[in-house]
Structure 1
Amino acid sequence: MRATEPAAVGILRITGAVCLVLMPLVMWLANRSAPLMLGLAATAFLGAGLLAQPASAVLARLRALLATPLALTVAAFLAWALVSISWSHKVVPSLEFWAELVLPMAFALAIAVSGQWRPTPALLRALAATIILAAGLLVFELASGLSQRMALGTGKMMGFIFNRPTIVLFLLAVPVVHALWSRPSSPTLDRLLAAILTLAVATLVIRAESGAARLGFAVLTLCWLLASVAPRLASALVASVFVLTMAIAPVLGPSAERFLPSMILNRFNAMTGQARIDIWQSFGEVARARPLAGAGFGTSATMHEHPVAAQVSPEHRTLLAASHPHDMPLQAWAETGVVGAGLLTLAGLLLLARLRRLPATEQAPRLALFAAAFSIATVGHGAWQGWWIAGLGAAILLFCRDAAARQGESHG
């Protein structure tokens, strides 16, 4: 079928691949641009899919994917989040946050069901090259004190503006390194490229101001090593820590205040040390005040203006203006209550159950990325930010090599 397909199909397929390959460089230039690049790629791949085959084939793949327990659970969370907006104090901004979460998920889904997504060796090599280049540019800018951007007079002149691209590059690098290194026929040059990519991203993570990225890198390394030698133990450990972290989120602040040694806190800067614990305490009081349904999806950005703020102790009320809790489980609890947090916990466990069925060599990098991404989400950014969801979606797509290979065979 490939020989008789319209020329536009090949052009659109290449366009989609180029959009994904350029994502690291565009994130370096504009640190919230990942959803845009993923959306452009989705448009191209879906267009190619609809030109190359009947729309019914795309819809059949979509129905099959959405019928899985994991997809149904995620859909249930999104539906509950949408319902919870009805008790938000600012409905329109909450709807905007919901759209910011859903759109990158829809883009990744569109690419997956298009029938055109094939992370070929050439695409992986090109993506590795752009990640290395973007990492080098980021390190150079950080080392030079952002002098280039200061000269241009663009944006905020603070090193933390590179935290988002650092995390996205880290997410994308994991499946690319695994693919380049682990293929049975991997040439020496591919393994050399994988090694250079690992070194480049590690250097960026160490040099950047993102403590969340450094935590994620450490968790990734330890989990990947453990999963390579004891996959069942690693899976059980990750699942246990995941469930425990989701469960204790409403009391995370008091627990960290009581049990986290000061010698550890003192190693972090002001916004990742005691101030972070104070924020957790503030939003934890919100979660405990509205334990069943939460304050409404997307309300964290202006939680200090929500009526629930009156139920928070005066000493913790100020930090409700911190935009978000800097902890995904706590944000889920504060905004969507035990219903939303429970659905997300179930979705995570269903995903981990799927990973357990993979061969150890394929399970290890995926499990490690799950653990790393979750650890980043528990200390870093807002849970529903589009650049984060788009980065995760792109990383997941890059792990879908087996499905892509089957699609390629069906088109041969």
Structure 2
Amino acid sequence: MRLHAAGAVALALVAPAMALANRSSPLVVGLAALLFLAGSLAERGEGRGASPLRFLAGPLSTPLGLAVLAFLGWSVASLAWSPFPVLWGRVLTEFLPTLASAFILARLAPARLPGWALPLAAILLAASCLYMAGSLALALAPQIWLGQRAALFLFNRPLLTVLLLAGPLAAFLALRGSRILALALLAVAAFAILRSISGAAALGLLAGCAMFAVGRLLPRPAALAVAALVLALAFILAPVEGDILHRAMPEAAHERLTQSSSRARVAIAQSFGAAVAQAPWIGSGYGMSARFAEVPAAQVLEPEMRAMLAVGHPHNSFLQIWAELGLVGAVLGALVGFLALRAAAALPRLLFATALGVFGAMVAVMFVEHGAWQGWWTAGCGAAITWLRAAWAARPAQDNA
């Protein structure tokens, strides 16, 4: 069907669209989701296939679906104590439509992707990586020619999207018998990431490789235990991250990490951690990080700490969940992660290891980088899950390797 083919093209365009416009993935993923939904509704209208709406509603009654709904429900409920309701609504209206689009895409696209969608996506992702690496090597000359902003961090978001997509696409290629092409795609993606200034992408690459090895080499229960421990530690350590780093990081480490503004990041983490201690149970309200210096929990802090709260978010999604949604939000968020890991346990070995690799990269990036509710990150995660599910749907019936 033409609508499905157009949706497949849109899905394949996520990486190059981000390379050209580094906040574009919510729009591209949203378009892809609408095209697959329209195609599925057209199929239903012609008497072919089950109801897509019923198919979409099915997962919401599973433990994972109920946990996600509970987390979203708590986020909505926090309006009752949010000091800035307009900000609450503005952040939620960016996050929720992107999350819905990612969910629709991950549910409807995998079984409807044409055979050419995988090679197209792999080629476009590799071309995007070469474009970004080449632009960096040329001191961003292409961006200057195009009249874009010439800043070295311009490709940080696109390369974090590449980090999410490269593993699932490579695993899909390997399952199709194209192992050499899969390795080449991973090599190109790693080259672009390491060529950039994005420390978060490099850390995510390292963590993703480590978790892939865990999933590939350890027995499945042991691999799941390692992944669950990583997630638990991310939530447990988030409120005290700043204090730990303040005591543990030597001055020499800060000197080597000047490009990453490590001193400021430690101070920001300390400030948000101190604010968490003032509202530990229910937090200060969803989306409040953008004006966190003004929330009631921040008013008892020292002036220098309140100044660090004005950055907009703590550069740690787990800490942001604690600060905005409290212990309840952290428990619900962790529950979503644990149940997602349990769902990944049903995948064949290669896809299971790939899912753990993507999980490791996500956790590493979320612990050091962007705000929790940014649409481009949610869209990238949704696209990565879509390709993982597509690889699972297309695998040979006897393949459990």
Counterpart position of 1:130: 124
State the partner residue of 2:399: none
Displacement after TM superposition at 1:18 (Å): 0.7
1:89 partner SS: coil
**What corresponds to 1:93 in structure 2?**
87
RMSD across aligned positions (CA): 1.9
Listed as ranges, the matches of 1:3-402 within 5 Å are 10-53=1-44, 57-114=51-108, 117-155=111-149, 157-183=150-176, 186=177, 190-230=178-218, 231-401=220-390
For 2:394 and 2:43, how far apart are their aligned partners in 1? 17
Give per-residue Cα distances to partners, 1:217-269, cap 9 Å, x unaligned.
00111111222110333321221121122022111110121224444443323
- Quote how far apart the aligned CAs of 1:117 are: 4.3
Shift of 1:113: 4.1
Identity %: 37
Structure 1 counterpart of 2:366, one-letter code:
A
Describe the shift of the 1:357–1:191 C-alpha distance in structure 2 as closer, same or farther (beyond 3 A). closer
| Distance (Å, rounded) in 2 between the aligned partners of 1:22 and 1:64 | 28
- The answer on whether the counterparts of 1:35 and 1:104 sit within 8 Å (CA) in structure 2 is yes
Relative to structure 2, which stretch is displaced further, 102-111 or 285-294? 102-111
Rounded Cα–Cα distance in structure 2 between residues aligned with 1:327 and 1:309: 18
Number of residue pairs matched by the alignment? 391
2:106 and 2:383 in contact (8 A); partners too? no
Task: Report the more deviating stretch, 311-320 or 338-347.
Answer: 311-320
Aligned partner letter, 1:276? R
Task: Give me the whole-angstrom Cα distance separating, in 2, the residues matched to 1:115 and 1:268.
Answer: 41
Q: TM-score, normalised by structure 1?
A: 0.90
Instruction: Give structure 1 regions of 4+ aligned residues with deviation exceeding 6 angstroms.
Output: none
- Contact 1:45-1:117 within 8 A present in 2 as well: no
Shift of 1:19: 0.6
Task: Determine helix, strand or coil for the equivalent of 2:51.
Answer: helix
Deviations 1:336-387 (A, max 9, x none): 1111111001111111122233333321110111111111110011111000
**Contact 2:8 2:114 (C-alpha < 8 Å) held by counterparts:** no
Q: Alpha-carbon deviation of 1:285?
A: 1.2
Bigger mean CA deviation after superposition, 26-35 or 194-203? 194-203
- Which range moved further: 227-236 or 44-53? 227-236
**1:78 Cα shift?**
0.9
Instruction: Look up the SS of the partner of 1:378 in the other structure.
Output: helix
Question: Displacement of 1:405 after TM fit?
Answer: 4.5
What are structure 2's unaligned runs of at least 5 residues? Answer: 396-401
Distance 2:34 2:114 in 1: 19
Query: Deviation at 1:272?
Result: 4.2
> CA separation of 1:57/1:121 partners in 2, compared to 1, >3 Å: closer, same or farther?
same
Counterpart of 1:7?
none
Alpha-carbon distance, 1:303 to partner: 1.1
Instruction: Please give the TM-score of this superposition, normalised by the length of structure 2.
Output: 0.92
1:119, 1:398 within 8 Å by CA — same for their partners in 2?
no
Compared CA separation, residues 21 and 286, structure 1 to 2 (3 A):
same
Given that 2:239 and 2:322 are in contact with CA atoms closer than 8 Å, whether structure 1 keeps it comes out as: yes
Distance 1:402 1:276 in 2: 38
- The CA deviation at 1:72 is 0.9
Indicate conservation of the 8 Å contact 2:234/2:363, yes or no: no
Provide the rounded CA distance (Å) in 1 between the counterparts of 2:112 and 2:359: 22
Q: How far apart, CA to CA, are the structure 2 residues paired with 1:87 and 1:239?
A: 31
How far off is 1:97 after superposition? 1.0
**Structure 2 residue matching 1:279: 3-state secondary structure:** helix
